[in-house]
Amino acid sequence: MAAPGADLYESGFAKVEFVEAYLRKRLFFLMERFLMNRKFMIAFSLVFLCASLICLVFAAPKTRWTSTYDGGGDDEAYCVIGTKDGGYALAGITNSSGAGKYDSWLIKTDSFGEVQWNMTYGGSGHDIVLSIVATDDGGYALAGSINDGDNDAWLVRTDSWGVMLWNRTYGGSDHERAKSLVASSDGGYVLACETRSFGAGGTDFWLIKTDSEGVMEWNMTYGGEDNEFASCVVETLDGGYALTGSTIPSGAGSADFWLVKTDSQGNLEWNKTYGGVGTEYSNSMAATRDGGYALAGSTTSFGRGGWDAWLVKAGSEGVMEWNMTYGGVSNEYVGSLVVNDNTEYVLACIQQPIVGDGQFWLVGTDSAGTLQWNQTYTNSAHHSSTSIVFAKNKDLAMTCSTRDSAGYRDFWLLTVEDSDSLLVLPITFVLVLFVVVSVFLVLHFKRANKDV
């Protein structure tokens, strides 16, 4: 004897099966009609391809805001950092104010680019800041060069309001300049410099280590009888240092990328050159999570012709793992490089035509250097330097200089949204997906016609 309600259950179940079968039949009928219609197939393919390309075009991070800082004269920004309060600190040179021909200029802004305070530093000559780091007490350390008869490398320490606490100079009888600065793990500072007073001849790399008060603890030079121009230094995982720049004429061409690795006392461990038959200049470097290095600059040996942006990934011993070029018909120059937590790279570049002012160009890649997105900004960028940093909220901030209507240069600060938030599909993936979908539709179309 059936249980009470069994008939009702079986009847309901049969109705559900009937509805599912009906819906399945209608779905197959509609798909078959769609696949047998050539116009619908062509339209679908075109829409799919256009949508994919549109997604690629609009994959670049969106601009949050931009701000211009005009002192009234000629002002050129060289470096930027994010600050603990979510704002920014920009540094460069100005002849709009200060004590001399050109003085160093430090601007502190809030998170929206509004100026909170600004300070100038220097004497009667041409004094320049090229690198800046934040200090543990909320202040800043700046490095560059000061012209006090001969150019010397220069280190300036300020409090949280930009008031100078002390400054130190380093140099000999000839020309020296600090190009890059890092705060070392022991509380001191490490400066990557160029020197003509010391070394083997010409211009050499010069690495200076100081204590927390800027007093020199040791220094080392690297280079040969020709010219080596330093651009960047990082502290490595083993407590040593890595420097990059360019060497002339060592290697295969007229100038090559040069990577120098030292121990914690500046003793040379190894060095590598990267380049081709043309000219390569390395302008920026970042240490990667795998213990290797990413170097960025410009090349005439590789790419599409003229100058192209060049990204080189090297392992922990300096052996090249891969390299990529980025560029078009204009000349492309890389000013700065950053790496995010996913080992994806962002390059801050200038696209410079043969005649006239250029434009700013941001390039984003995946961990293998494959282009993911790029965005241009049409502000006048003639002979400008570019510096880029990840802010406290993971947004990108780039500073550089743009020309105003009077022809003077002004500081310019751009912030764009966090690139990690983008769902970016590589172009190869999109094209493969398009081919697969197209083949699927063609096969089904042929099968539908055959069945008819």
Residue by residue, pLDDT tens for the chain (452 residues) are 444 444 543 454 455 456 566 666 665 555 555 555 555 555 555 655 555 555 554 467 889 999 999 988 889 999 999 999 999 999 999 998 877 788 999 999 999 999 999 999 998 888 999 999 999 999 999 999 998 778 999 999 999 999 999 999 999 999 999 999 999 999 999 999 999 999 998 999 999 999 999 999 999 999 988 899 999 999 999 999 999 999 987 555 589 999 999 999 999 999 999 999 999 999 999 999 999 999 999 999 999 888 999 999 999 999 999 999 999 888 999 999 999 988 899 999 999 887 777 889 999 999 999 999 999 987 666 556 789 898 877 889 999 888 887 878 899 999 998 755 544 445 555 566 666 666 665 565 555 555 54
Residue 321 class from Cβ within 10 Å (0-12 exposed, 13-18 middle, 19+ buried)? middle
- Cα torsion for 316, 321, 325, 326, to the nearest 10°? -70
Q: How far apart (Å, rounded) are the C-alpha atoms in residues 58 and 65?
A: 18
Residue 451's pLDDT is 54
Q: How far apart (Å, rounded) are the C-alpha atoms in residues 149 and 388?
A: 32
Residue 60's pLDDT is 73
Q: b/e string for 231-262 if b means 16 or more Cβ within 10 A?
A: bbbbbbeeebbbbbbbbbebbebebbbbbbbb
Token readout for 192 is 């990557």
Q: Which CATH code of 3.40.50.720, 3.50.50.60, 2.130.10.10, 1.25.40.10 fits the domain covering 62-425? A: 2.130.10.10
Residue type, 83: T
CB-side exposure of 228: number of CA atoms within 13 Å? 30
Residue type, 245: G
Query: Tokens 């947004």 map to which residue?
Result: 395
Ordered by start, the domain boundaries in the chain are 17-56+431-451, 62-425
Residue 148's pLDDT is 73
Residue 267's pLDDT is 98
Q: How far apart (Å, rounded) are the C-alpha atoms in residues 53 and 436?
A: 16
CB-side exposure of 410: number of CA atoms within 13 Å? 18
Asked if 325 contacts 296 with a C-beta cutoff of 8 angstroms, the reply is no
- Beta strands 115-121 and 128-134: pairing type? unpaired
- DSSP-derived 3-state class of residue 61: coil
In degrees, rounded to 5, the angle at the alpha carbon of residue 141 between the alpha carbons of residues 419 and 103 is 100
pTM: 0.81
Closest CA to 127 of 177, 161, 170: 177
- DSSP-derived 3-state class of residue 421: helix
Beta bridge partners of 279: 255
Which residues make Cβ contacts (< 8 Å) with residue 418, sequence separation at least 6? 61, 393, 394, 395, 396
Helical packing angle, 38-57 and 427-451, nearest 10°? 170
Residue 2's pLDDT is 44
